[in-house]
Amino acid sequence: MTVLNILTFPDPRLRKVAAPVIKFDKSLKKLTEDMLETMYQGNGIGLAATQVNVHKRVIVIDVSDDRTDPKIFINPEFEIKDNKSLFSFSEGCLSIPGYNEEITRPDKILLKWQDVNGKFHEEEPEGILTVCIQHEIDHLEGKLMVDYISSLKRERIRSKLRK
């Protein structure tokens, strides 16, 4: 397994929209393994392929306390089941090192995805997994958690990380 280089905000490549995965082959499996390794090494709970400069709709997540529950979501998408049910969480991002921001998101969603073999799944996630999935799917759309905060705060983070 290889630890991949993570792009850091404000790298413009983090703004690319990822393309759907069509081929469920060995190279996809290798990418997910490398992404998990990269996420664990960086002590993150989620990573999107966009962050390692691969613009495909692939995310990996592990929200378990003991870091032994890797989850892989290919072509993930979600629908909001109840837009009045919200959850606030202090989010971090491996592409915005050193910063946490309290972000409010819907907490009742139906998630649909494919596994590494192309098989379709759906589930209503619970707890931190719900916000983590939305954060990672945002990455696939070129969206970052700093887009949820004030532009003043975002510029401050941008100039600090540029140094």
Catalytic residues: 136
Three-state DSSP at 33 gives helix
Residue 117's CB is within 10 A of a number of other CB atoms, namely: 9
The nearer residue to Ni ion, 93 or 140, going by C-beta atoms, is: 93
The least distance separating Ni ion from the CB of residue 100, rounded to whole angstroms, comes to 11
The nearer residue to Ni ion, 49 or 93, going by C-beta atoms, is: 93
The least distance separating Ni ion from the CB of residue 118, rounded to whole angstroms, comes to 25
**Binding region for Ni ion (CB under 5 A):** 93
Question: What Cα–Cα distance (Å) separates residue 158 from each residue in 20, 94, 104, 147, 153?
Answer: 29, 14, 22, 12, 9
Cα 120 from Cα 113, distance rounded (Å): 6
Stated as kind and residue range, the H or E segment containing 163 is: none
Q: Which of 113, 121, 112, 115 is nearest to 29 (CA)?
A: 115
The nearer residue to Ni ion, 31 or 93, going by C-beta atoms, is: 93
The nearer residue to Ni ion, 3 or 24, going by C-beta atoms, is: 3
How do 100-106 and 109-114 pair as beta strands?
Answer: unpaired
Cα 61 from Cα 8, distance rounded (Å): 19
The least distance separating Ni ion from the CB of residue 145, rounded to whole angstroms, comes to 6
Token pair belonging to 123: 């589930």
The least distance separating Ni ion from the CB of residue 91, rounded to whole angstroms, comes to 8
